Every structure is written in C-alpha cells, then in structure tokens.
Amino acid sequence: MSFTNNKGSEARLEKKRKGGFWLRKWDSVDVANIFLVMGMHILAIYAPFMFNWGAIWVALVMEVITALGVTIGYHRLLTHKSFKIPKWLEYIIVYCGLHAGQKEPIYWVSVHKYHHMYVETEKDPHTPKEGFWFSHIGWLFDNEYIAAKAGESRSGDYSNVPELKAQWFYGFLHSTYIWHKGIREVAIHHFTYFVNSVCHTWGDRPWNTSDTSTNNWWITISTYGEGWHNNHHAFPKSARHGLEWWQFDLTWEIIKFLETIGLVTYIKLPTAAGKERLKMRLDNTKQTKRK
C-alpha cells in the first residue's frame, strides 16, 4: 500500500463514512473475507460437539506452530527486522505463518508497517478511532475503505515493502496465495469426492465386486492412483491400487520407494489365489447373464 493524502481519497473516505459499515458498497474481497471468517467461527462453535483430547492436542500444537510463524516470521523478523537468521530458516518459519489464515507476508507486513507509521490516526489501517469493532475485525471486511485511506487502488502496490517484493519467495507466495489457499483446497476436496461419485458411476469393472465401484483412469490422474477404485474394492487392504503394470499408481510408487529405504514394512498386496477367485466369480457371472 502507498499512503498519500489527496482529494480523491478523502472524497472516497467521506462517502464510506456516510454509508456506514453495513450500508456501504461491498466489493468481492469483502464478501469473500466475511464468508471465510464466518465459516471459521461456525466450525469453532461446532467443535465442542466433536470433542476428543487428540483433536485438542493437534489444535494446540498447530496453533503454536502457525502463530509463532506470524509472531517470529511475519512480525519481528520481516516487519521490524529485530534479528537475523539464515534464509532457509526464515522461509520455513514464514511458511508456517502462512497457514495461520492471516494472508501472505507481503500483505501482512505492509499493513503492519503502516499501522506503526500512522498509529491511531486517520491513516492507521485498523485505527481504534473507528471503534472497537473496526479495529478488532471490521477492517478486514472493508477493503475499499482501507485502500481509500491509503489513497491507492484497491489492489495495492505495497511500495513500503520493496525488500519483500524483490525476493522470489515472497513474490511467489503473494501471487499464488489464492491458488494455494483456495483453488488447491477446493480441488483436493472435489478430486476426492469424484472417487465417491464418478468411480461408482462410470468406468471399467474388471473385478466382480458386490458394489458398483469402477476403475476410472482420468480420476486416477488427479488422485494419484485412487481412481483404480474397483481394484480397491476387490482388495481393500492392498497398498497397491494399480494392480496391472500399465495402471500407474503414484501413491503406490511412493510407498514402494519408502519400502526400499526401510521406512515402510509389512506391505499388504493381493495374492495370486485371491485374484483368481475373483476372476472366476466374474466369469461365472458373465456366463449366468448369457443364459
């Protein structure tokens, strides 16, 4: 962001003040942010109904790791340069902070630098002069207002963090954040769901299972071998889903590699006798249908 004082930005600020928080014009970033934050809070409300100590410990450990990524990486290191560490360690710590849900480093550091530069003034991005609600969380849902205070376009140029913009790592995180946090997670969800839907509707059935499971090669590509679903239902305990030499199964290849270096043991695979029994069942079923 680049905070300047000009008549255009002042006019936009005045327009925003008159509209108030709820009656103002909401842009796509505001809407996306409020749905994301609401979703997180709904999950938090639901959490007590899924209580178990294991979940609590995982949440606590991940909270510590991701929060320290923000406090050590985003805040004290990148923003205030309070200390120096090797670049490889800096990137690891900052990457932990990326999973705290507070956006990527260039955005976070830019906003926080302006907060210190204009603390508790009209130009403070989350000034308490706008009220407790605004300084606490409301500013997250008012992208255009924050941009107007900066006297810039809504996209922001982040001119106060040139040292971060110049580094490929932070530029990469900034330009790929939506894909990393949005598209990636949506894709993983739906690719997994396709196994449940597509692989019980379309595809080949080389094995005579008592269900509608199928092998679907294009689902296999996006799920790293899970698309050989009929194979899986025929031999559910098998670590290998692509049973034929031509059925590529990336998950199995990784498991096999881990076995060669001694990290995986007791691998379960279908026996020749088990395969033969299922093939005989399939042949008998086909003959019965012909009659």
Query: 161-186: per-residue pLDDT in tens?
Result: 888 888 888 888 877 777 776 777 77
Residue ranges per structural domain of the chain: 7-166, 208-290
Tens-digit pLDDT profile for residues 91-109? 999 999 988 888 889 888 8
209 alpha-carbon distance from chain centroid: 36
Token pair 């379309």 in the structure block, residue = 202
- Which residue would you say has higher pLDDT here, 27 or 99? 99
- Pick from 44-48, 155-159, 214-218, 283-287 the range whose average pLDDT is largest: 214-218
With bands split at pLDDT 50, 70 and 90, how would you rate the model's confidence at 115? confident
CA angle 113–116–150, rounded 5-degree value: 60
Q: What is the pTM of this model?
A: 0.66
Across all residues in the chain, what is the average pLDDT? 82
| Cα separations in angstroms, 215 against 188, 226, 263 | 19, 9, 29
Q: Is the dihedral angle over the CA atoms 139, 142, 143, 145 positive or is it negative?
A: negative
With bands split at pLDDT 50, 70 and 90, how would you rate the model's confidence at 52? confident
Establish how many alpha carbons lie within 13 A of residue 41's alpha carbon, considering only the half-sphere containing its beta carbon: 7
Tens-digit pLDDT profile for residues 244-254? 999 999 999 99
